[in-house]
Structures are given as structure tokens and as C-alpha cells.
Structure 1
Amino acid sequence: MMKKIVLLTLFMLVALSMVLAGCGTDESSGSEGEGAEKIKLIAAHNQTTPDTPYSVGLEKFKEVVESESDGNIEVEVHEGTIGTEESELVEKLKLGAADVVLVSPGFMTQTGIEEVDLFALPYLFDSFDHWEEVVDGEVGEEVASIVNEKSNNDFKIVGYWSAGVRHFYGKAPLEKMDDLNGMTIRTQTSGVVSDFWKQAGAVPTSVAWGELYQALQQNVVDSAENAYPYFVAQNHHTTKNGKYVTETAHDYTTRFLLVNGNDFDKYTEEQQEIIMNAAEASVVAEREALYVQEEEYKEKAIAEGAEVSEIDTAPFIEIAEPLQDQATKDMGTEDLLGKIRDLK
């Protein structure tokens, strides 16, 4: 009798193990490979205006990730809903409350990585083609390595996006650089950008982006600077002190698409490949959208009464180049500056 009980128990254990093994195979099957779990990524940027290039880029990221993983990786896109300040987004990335975020070089310097301020130097680039050649090449790779190393792998750059080319707009057009003398301008109030505008004759002033429309309308500031897709979307061109746009093209902007490198390293090789493929696709989609919107929003501004003019930028560049030299010397990035200039 005891022998029969033992044999029956062994039979039941074998049967149960086969059932459990079958269940494990079903749960781990799919494109992610054996044993991989489904994951959810929170992707975020700080813009609240709908249909921005940022939105286009992150939606493409979501599309590619979910398609290539057969839905085993889900992406939840947040557009200004979990943070309208870049500091909030980066903090969430470090703490695991976000997995993919977009930030500017100017903010990254606040984390102690001064070298990325290289990309914020006035007149560093002379065209979008030049900018792309730099960020997509050796210089971009070196900056990505610096960010990863200095952040102890908290930040991993997986793509370079653009926020457009920035121009001056204010209460009067600029016919020559001297027209800036004594004019207040909403821009960075410290660092090389501030020094540049001071040497051009202007008075850098701090105004929150969300308050700038009112500041321009009520004469709090005389002028500002930004790219068409952003200041026109906020109707700054319809204000008393935002009507006159002078195409100074002083900054072909760079934005970093970041993931947490430590979390990224925990993913399977297939998951990592899917995320990198999606990041590459998002770069293409975001830039294409941005370049189209540059023209669309310029035409919109003119149609709605803005007056657009060009200016000889040579005097501005003459101020900018010594500032570039000193800034890169201080940052230890003179070699990168040389490579960027060689690509012009």
C-alpha cells in the first residue's frame, strides 16, 4: 500500500512540473526571447503645445518599440504632463519615474557635466547640415561618452534632436548690431550666452517661458530669441514687443534624448536593440517635423503680421568666436571645437 502511495505521489509531482513548465514557456514566448518579461517605458518631454516636433519624435519612438517587440514593450508618452521643467524630467529619470526624456545642453550643465555646454555656444553651427554632421559623427559620439561617464551611467544619450534655429524678435527690427544697445532681451542670464548678448549691447533678462507672452505684451522686456516653431506657437509674434523678427540664426539648437544607462543595461540584448532602433527612428521623425515646421511657422508669422528681416551676422560672429575659444578652454573641449570648425 505504501509503495503505491509513493508511486502515486511521484507521478503527481512529475505531472505538476510538466504543467508548470508549459506555463512558463507560454509567458516567456514572443519576440523578446526566452525568459524576458514585458516592460513599460515612460517617455516624456516638457512642451505642452500640441503637435510639436517633440511629440512627433516620441510618438515614432513608441510606434517602433511596440511594433518591433510585438507589444511586449509598452511606451507611455507624456507631453508636459509629468514635468514642464527639464529639472523635473531628469530627476524622474534618475529615480526611475521616467525612462526616456528630452533635455537641453544648458540644463545638463547644472548636473555637473560642463562639457555639453559646447553645443549651446552662439554661432557654433552655420547650417542644419553642419549641425547634423557634427552630432551624428565623431563629436556627437565623444559628447555622448562624456555624458555617460560623468553621470556614472545615469544618463545615456540615445539620440540628438533639434529645437530649431533661434532668431531675435522684438519691438523693432535690427538693421545693425548697435540697434541692440540698451535693449532688454529674454534669454539665459548667465554663462556664455549671456556674455554674448551683453557684448552685443543687449541686457539679458530672466522671464519664465510661460510668462513671456505677457512680458512682451506689457513691455516688461523689449525682445526675446527662439525658433519659429516655438515662439510662433506661443503667439509671441502678435505682441507689441515680438512683432519684428530678425533672422540672426545665432543658435542651431541641440537636444539630448536620454535614457537611464543603468536601467538600460538590465534589459535583454533584444530589448536594447529595439530601444536603440526606436531612438534612431525618432531622431529622423523629429528632425523632419522640425524642418517642415521651421518654414510653416515662419509663413504663419508673416501671414499674421510679423515683419521678418535679415541682417549681416558677421559682427555677431566676430563677438562669438573669442567667447567660443575661452569657453572651450575652460571646459577642456578645445579639440572638439576644432573638429566642429573643420566640418564647416
Structure 2
Amino acid sequence: MKRFTLILLVAVMTIIAGCGNNESGGEEEASVESIKLIAAHNQTSTENPYQDGLVKFKEVAEAESDGAIEVEVHAGTIGTEESELVEKLQTGGADVVLVSPGFMTQTGVKEVDLFALPYLFTSYEHWENVVDGEVGQQLADLINEKSNNDFKLVGYWSAGVRHYYGKTPLQSMDDLDGLTIRTQTSGVVANYWEQTGAIPTSVAWGELYQALQQGVVDSAENAYPYFVQQNHHTTDNGKFITETGHDYTTRFLLVNGEKFDSYTDEQKEIILKAADESVKAERAALYAQEDEYKQKAIDEGAEVNEIDRQPFIDLAKPIQDAAAADMGVEDLLQQIRDMQ
């Protein structure tokens, strides 16, 4: 009788344990550990593709983790300069940031300037094939390696196709001679504009409207969704837009590599999935806004003209060759050209 009772008790305990495992989803399905991520971009307006991308990152990360991964999105509130965001990523003040190649070179990873070369890409299709393919992966690996794991690239975003806009339209390259232009003032970008005859000038993005309005600079260059949102086209020195199409821009979505490595496998998987979805959302928003903001500029009095780009392209090629040789990425440049 005692033996029967013991057997019955063991059976009941086994059933209870089994039910407990089923209710919790099994012992192997551990819940995601809680973390909070600060995600930031440098644009002060929330009506832009950067914001759309980071909001999608937040939505996916929080949904996939059942809220265990909390994401706080900052639109220009912890830094309107990309150099500030890079510094915060390194020091722990931010966990996910968006930066351009030009600011990444300041960290010692000069190879990333490859993607900043004028007229490197011929279309969005060409750009996507490059960044989403082998070349993009090689550059991502270089960033991680050369930065000693300070930076891990988790996605390629775009900031649109950049065009000239200024106080006078361009009919030929000669019209740039002596004009000050707000752009990057060092590296391959500055070198290119100097070769056109323009004078690269440094102005903070948040101060550019006033600089154009007051004649501090004669012109600038950027993509429609960004300079139209800032009303640059309404100033005397920004109303003439010439579609030079000199840069299909690349932006890097970065996390701190060392910190990323400290996360659990579940956290890593969710963050990477959120990054992938943010890439899709940001690009879709950007592509839609290109036409929308071009029309807005025209409707509000800006004048848009096209130009023969071939002289600009011809000027860019030897600059591309020299820069790639200096960076030691001649093979990557050739791969990009072969994919046109």
C-alpha cells in the first residue's frame, strides 16, 4: 500500500511539473533581460526620414522583447552635430546613433570616406546594391576592426541625393567660381568643391538658414527633404536649386561594439532585427519625400534647373582614384564602378 502511494505521488508531481513547464513556454524560453537604449539623430525636426527610421527601431525592439528593451528616441535633443553623437556613443551617452562618413573619418577610420566620394553612385539602385552587398559588408567589418570595436555598423541609411542650392542658378561649372558653399571643409568633399572653383565654408547645420538669409554663405548643398524642411529655399541665397545630383548619400547606423558584445544573444538578435526594419522604414520615407519636398520648394517660390552633369562627373573620377589610393581601398572602388 505504501509503495502504491509513493508511485502515485511521483506520478502526480511529474504531471504538475510538466504542466508548469508548458504554461511558462518551457525552461529554454527565458525572458529577455531589461535594458534601455538611447537612440539619436541630429535633425531637430521629427518630420524627417531619420525620425521615421528610429521610431521603427523603437517599435520593433520593444515589441520583439515584450517591452524588456526600452528605446528612447532623441531628435536633435542630445546633439545637433554628428561629432557630438559619435562622442556620446563612445562615452555611453547614447547607444544607437546615425552619422555620416565625414564624421566617421575623424575617429581614425579613414576608409569610410569612400562612400562620401562625389559621383560615386549613379542611382539609388546602384547605391543599394553596393551597401547591401559584399562591399557594404567589407566596410562594416573595417569600421568595427579599425575602431577597436568602438563602433559596430548595424545598418546603412540614406540622406537622399544632394544638390546645389544658392543665390544664383548654375548653368555650367564656371558659375561656381568664387562662390562660398556650405559643405564639409576637409577631406574628399572639400577637395572636390575646391576643384570646381567654389570655396568650401563651415557653418553648423542649425545656423545655416540664418547664414543663407544674411549672406554669410552664397550657397549650400543637400537633399530636398532636409534643406526644404529647414526653409533654406525661402532665403535669397537658397532659392535657386540646380540638380547636380553629386552624392547619393550614405549614413551609418551605429552601436557601440563593446557594449553590443555584452548583450545576451536574445538582446543582440532583437537589436539586429530592429536595425534591419529601421533601414527599410528610413529608406521608404526618404524616397517618398524626395519628390514631395521638391514640389514643396517649387510651390513656395524656389526655382529648379537641371545641368549637364558630365563635366562634374569627369572632374570627380581622378579625385576618386587619388582618394581610394590614399585610403587603400582601390579594389572596393573598382567593385563599385563595376556594379554600375
Query: Structure 2 vs 1, CA of residues 70 and 35 (structure 1 numbering), >3 Å: closer, same or farther?
Result: closer
Equivalent of 1:165 in 154, 161, 166 = 161
Query: Structure 2 vs 1, CA of residues 35 and 166 (structure 1 numbering), >3 Å: closer, same or farther?
Result: closer
User: What 5-or-longer segments of structure 1 have no aligned partner?
Assistant: 1-24
- Give the length in aligned residue pairs: 318
Render the CA deviation track for 1:271-301: whole Å, top value 9, x for unaligned. Answer: 1111111100000000000011111100000
2:101 corresponds to 1:105 = yes
Aligned residue number for residue 270 of structure 1: 266
2:53 corresponds to 1:57 = yes
What is the TM-score of this pair, normalised by structure 2? 0.90
Tell me whether 209-218 or 331-340 shows the greater mean CA deviation. Answer: 209-218
SS of the equivalent of 2:73 reads strand
Distance 2:58 2:29 in 1: 20
Distance 1:227 1:30 in 2: 51
Give the AA of the match of 1:109. T
2:139 corresponds to 1:119 = no
Aligned residue number for residue 40 of structure 2: 44
Contact map agreement 1:32 1:271 (CA 8 A) in 2: no
2:334 corresponds to 1:342 = no
Render the CA deviation track for 1:104-154: whole Å, top value 9, x for unaligned. Answer: 100000000000000000000011111111000001000000000011111
User: What 5-or-longer segments of structure 2 have no aligned partner?
Assistant: 1-20
Aligned residue number for residue 134 of structure 1: 130
Q: Map of 1:10-21 to 2, 5 A cutoff?
A: none
Equivalent of 1:87 in 69, 80, 83 = 83
Query: Structure 2 vs 1, CA of residues 30 and 196 (structure 1 numbering), >3 Å: closer, same or farther?
Result: farther
SS of the equivalent of 1:111 reads coil
SS of the equivalent of 1:98 reads coil
Contact map agreement 2:32 2:65 (CA 8 A) in 1: no
Give the AA of the match of 1:324. Q
Q: What is the Cα deviation at residue 35 of structure 1?
A: 7.1
Aligned residue number for residue 290 of structure 2: 294
SS of the equivalent of 2:78 reads coil
Contact map agreement 1:31 1:69 (CA 8 A) in 2: no
Equivalent of 2:313 in 306, 311, 317 = 317
Aligned residue number for residue 20 of structure 1: none
Distance 2:237 2:219 in 1: 6
Give the AA of the match of 1:114. K
Task: Kindly report structure 1 stretches of 4+ aligned residues shifted beyond 6 Å.
Answer: 28-32
2:195 corresponds to 1:199 = yes
Aligned residue number for residue 204 of structure 2: 208
Distance 1:178 1:34 in 2: 65
Distance 1:280 1:241 in 2: 39
2:247 corresponds to 1:285 = no
Aligned residue number for residue 254 of structure 1: 250
Distance 2:150 2:130 in 1: 24
Give the AA of the match of 1:199. Q
Q: What is the Cα deviation at residue 314 of structure 1?
A: 0.4
Distance 1:220 1:227 in 2: 21
Q: What is the Cα deviation at residue 215 of structure 1?
A: 1.6
Render the CA deviation track for 1:172-198: whole Å, top value 9, x for unaligned. Answer: 111111111111111122221112111
Q: What is the Cα deviation at residue 30 of structure 1?
A: 10
Equivalent of 1:156 in 131, 136, 152 = 152
Cα RMSD (Å): 1.7
Give the AA of the match of 1:316. F
Contact map agreement 2:162 2:247 (CA 8 A) in 1: yes
Q: Identity over the aligned pairs, expressed in percent? A: 74
What is the TM-score of this pair, normalised by structure 1? 0.89
Contact map agreement 1:31 1:70 (CA 8 A) in 2: no
Contact map agreement 1:32 1:69 (CA 8 A) in 2: no
Tell me whether 172-181 or 306-315 shows the greater mean CA deviation. Answer: 172-181
